[in-house]
Amino acid sequence: MARLPIIIDTDPGIDDAMMLTLAFAHEDKLDVRLVTTCSGNISQDKTNYNARTFLSYIGAIVEVARGLEQPVFRELEMAEEIHGESGFGNIEFPPPTLPVSASPAVAAMRETLLSSEEKVTLVATGPLTNVAALLLAHPEVKPKIERISWMGGAAVGGNMSPSAEFNAYVDPHAVEIVFRSGVPVVMSGLDVTHKAFVTLKEAQGMLEIGTEFAEKAYGLITYYLDVIKRTPFHEENYDQVLHFHDVCAVMCLLKPELFEGQDCFVETSLEGVTAGATVVDYTNRTGKEPNVHVLHSVDREVFVAEILKAVKVISDRVEAL
């Protein structure tokens, strides 16, 4: 079977690192042609550095392009209190060997799409600033995009405000541009990502692998345990459950049978107390044509098993470098 060509737009970020682990563990199925970095969890300087240092460490050979510094209409709000000042908690990786691309993210995306003989899927696990800029500046690329698989949004509740998920809150205008673009969108919002969790006991399976990478991966994800309790939206069992939000945007491409969702019309609130809320019309009250496939359920046990397999694959690869 031919590999699925993808571009990854990301803001590493702890769960972004786990998303990259899954994607590059499946190079037999995914052809990652470009990685671009967005500003979100941390600043552009840090997200680009983190993407390059992490990908260098796991032996990935891929172009990494620098994205836009901040949303066009809003000041950038970051999540250093969750991911740590560096974005990787207290885990360090060696300096990157992968360079910064000579092309900025939007130009690199355009070139990658237009030079592809087949359609390419965009995987976005941060604010949609880069993707929206691409679609506005270069609408000619739309026929080359198979779909956009985005981790963001929520039908019910938020983690940045009562109604908005973080990635949507940071750049709601970009979300609305993408939703109105006519390009197929799959939304892995909090409705599904809150069900895509790994228990602390399950995560300890990484330590049983016994490699440096597995220990670093475990250290990354358990960093959350010390900081989530300080957020206003933490759950009662925060110290036993680890959420792998961004992983869903790749997992749903690799294992679509694990997920359930529904085609819906979705509109984004742009201003005021509800800014960043993704309003999902589950019952077709608006009468408008669906523009987003909204995921809401996942087979958690298989999801967890696939993550542990990916950590083992990358662990073996790092050990062999």
What pLDDT is recorded for position 224?
Answer: 72
Q: What is the 3-state secondary structure (H, E, C) of the chain?
A: CCCEEEEEEECCCHHHHHHHHHHHHCCCCEEEEEEEECCCCCCHHHHHHHHHHHHHHCCCCCCEEECCCCCCCCCCCCCHHHHCCCCCCCCCCCCCCCCECCCCHHHHHHHHHHCCCCCEEEEECCCCHHHHHHHHHCHHHHHHEEEEEEECCCCCCCCCCCCCCHHHHHCHHHHHHHHCCCCCEEEECHHHHCCCEEEHHHHCHHHHHCCHHHHHHHHHHHCHHHHHHHCCCCCCCCCCEEECCCHHHHHHHHCHHHEEEEEEEEEECCCHHHCCCEEEECCCCCCCCCCEEEEEEECHHHHHHHHHHHHHHHHHHHHHC
Instruction: Give every CB contact of residue 228 below 8 A, 6+ residues apart in sequence.
Output: 82, 234, 238
Q: Is domain 4-320 in CATH 3.90.245.10, yes or no? A: yes
Report how far residue 161's alpha carbon sits from residue 149's, in angstroms, rounded to the nearest whole number.
23
Check residue 186 and give its pLDDT: 98
CA dihedral of residues 19, 25, 28, 30 (deg, nearest 10): 10
pLDDT for the residue numbered 11: 96
Question: What was the pLDDT predicted at 235?
Answer: 54
Q: Supply the pLDDT for residue 243.
A: 86
Map out the domains of the chain as residue ranges. Answer: 4-320
pLDDT for the residue 1: 67
Contact 134, 148 (CB under 8 A): no
Mean pLDDT over each residue of the chain, to the nearest integer:
94
Residues 288-318: tens digit of each pLDDT: 999 999 999 999 999 999 999 999 999 999 9
| Stretch among 59-68, 82-91, 135-144, 163-172 having the lowest mean pLDDT | 82-91
What digits encode the pLDDT tens for the residues 175-222? 999 999 999 999 999 999 999 999 989 999 999 999 999 999 999 998
For 223-267, the pLDDT digits (tens) are 877 666 555 544 555 557 788 999 999 999 999 999 999 999 999
The pLDDT value recorded for residue 84 is 78
pLDDT digits (tens, 9 = 90+) for 66-125: 999 999 899 998 877 777 788 898 999 999 999 999 999 999 999 999 999 999 999 999
pLDDT the model gives residue 227: 65
List residues with catalytic annotation.
245
Separation between Cα atoms, residue 258 and residue 251, nearest integer Å = 8
pLDDT exceeding 90 applies to what percent of the chain? 85
Please give the Cα distance from 93 to 90 (Å, whole number): 10
Q: Distance between CA 47 and CA 42 in Å, rounded?
A: 6
Confidence of residue 41 (pLDDT cuts 50, 70, 90): confident
